[in-house]
Structure 1
Amino acid sequence: MAMRSSVGSVAAGRSTKDAIRDAAIRLFSAKGFDQTSLREVADAVGITKASLYYHYASKLDLLLAVIQPIFDELRGNVDVAEGLEHTARNVRHVLAAQLGVLLRNRTAGAMCVRDSVTILNAISDLYPDIIDNNRRLCTWLAGPDPDDAAMLRASASLEMLTSVFWSRELAPGANDELIETVLLNAALGVLAGE
């Protein structure tokens, strides 16, 4: 069997590592994390499994490469939000920033939702961080001195944004602008108690 070269198989301008990550997102989303083998990912990129292991030591490392940047970006949004005054304009801005991250990463996000138990077990070290970021953002969104109802509305408004993960399946003709408008307005409505 002839050896495949990662240089010739990866599109110009993209690194092998990026190509592996992109193929993993597509395959994990289509087949599920557990059902996708590293051999399939390597084949999708046009490299050997040994080349894949050069870039990612394990399937878990590859999964973390897929989801860690998303969590980092979401955490960054929370950090920014906590430095802002709680105004209607800033609330809209923060929710739009969160939705932007989810929209850009909706394929990986859909994979995370579908395989949530498997993925939460695989990333259990990150799990407290995820919960803390959600709590921090809910607290900010709920406003100064929030009561229980305000906290629940804040949590529900963030959940509205995760509908983006199902947007391709539920509304395949919807463009990103429509998705963003509808979900942002829904989240703001829930937050306002409407």
Structure 2
Amino acid sequence: MSARASSEPVSAGRGTKDAIRDEAIRLFAEKGFEQTSLREVADAVGITKASLYYHYASKLDLLLAVVEPMFDDLAAVVAEAERLPWTPESIRRVLGHQLAALMRHRRTGELLVRDTVAIVNAVGDRYPGKMEFHRRMCGWLAGPDPTDVRILRATAAVEVIGTVLWTRPLLPAADDGMIETVLLQSALGVLEGNS
């Protein structure tokens, strides 16, 4: 059993399934999905591998439990955007919600950035539409009857917001408020440009 597991047992108020998911996010982000064994996850939580299998039938099931909340939150932001009129206020609101969703899932985002190929190979066939939200977001941000320039600016703005996924390793002590302010202002600046 790891030192972490023995010093931080699963508490009564925190469910084992949540603890497994939390430790999987941490280990997958630190070591990589393919390099992390289920035994390591179980040890980190302080349970047996058999107990882990009771909650998650496979490593793929555990990965899906890790990435689906992020995908669901981002899909909800796109759905919200598509119900709003395309105005400067709506654009700011939608980019702010996109940024907030990514802030909530930074550890998962680190995993996706680190192991993109492994993750896409593992979940892409099951959820081909999950990746579609990025294209839809860029399309909405580009506005009605977009020019090539607007499409490129919209795509770049989404990428600027995605920079939040790099902030933990890049700036571990940075204030969340500062990160949100800088990235939102930067994305809006890229989107507005001078043309």
TM-score, structure 1 length as denominator? 0.92
2:50 is aligned with 1:65: no
- The aligned counterpart of 2:33 is 33
Question: Cα offset for 1:127?
Answer: 5.4
Q: 1:128 offset after TM fit, Å? A: 3.0
Measured after TM superposition, the shift of residue 12 of structure 1 is 2.8
Structure-2 change in CA distance of 1:22 and 1:140 (3 Å):
same
- 1:22 and 1:144 map into 2 onto residues whose CA distance is 41
User: Please, what TM-score do these two structures have when normalized by structure 2?
Assistant: 0.92
Match runs of 1:47-126 below 5 Å: 47-126=47-126
RMSD: 1.4
Report Cα offsets for 1:67-86 as digits up to 9, x if no partner. 01110111011111100011
Partners of 1:87 and 1:177 in 2: how far apart? 25
Match of 1:147 in 2: 147
Once residues 106 and 145 of structure 1 are traced to their aligned partners in structure 2, the CA distance between those partners, rounded to angstroms, is 33
User: Unpaired runs of 5+ in structure 1?
Assistant: 1-7
Distance 1:151 1:164 in 2: 21
Cα displacement string for residues 69-109 of structure 1 (whole angstroms, at most 9, x for unaligned residues): 11011101111110001111110110010000111111110
Determine the structure 2 residue equivalent to 1:20.
20
For 2:107 and 2:168, locate their aligned partners in 1 and report how far apart those are by CA, in whole Å: 9
Q: Which amino acid aligns with 2:29?
A: S
Instruction: State the AA in 2 paired with 1:132.
Output: E
- Secondary structure at the residue paired with 1:34? coil
Query: In structure 1, what is the Cα distance between the partners aligned to 2:14 and 2:169?
Result: 28
- Residues 170-185 of structure 1 correspond to what in structure 2 (within 5 A)? 170-185=170-185
| CA contact 1:120–1:127 (8 Å) conserved in 2 | no
C-alpha separation in 1, matches of 2:158 and 2:126: 19
CA contact (8 A) 1:74 1:101 kept: yes
What SS class does the counterpart of residue 177 from structure 2 fall into? helix
Letter in 1 for 2:128: P
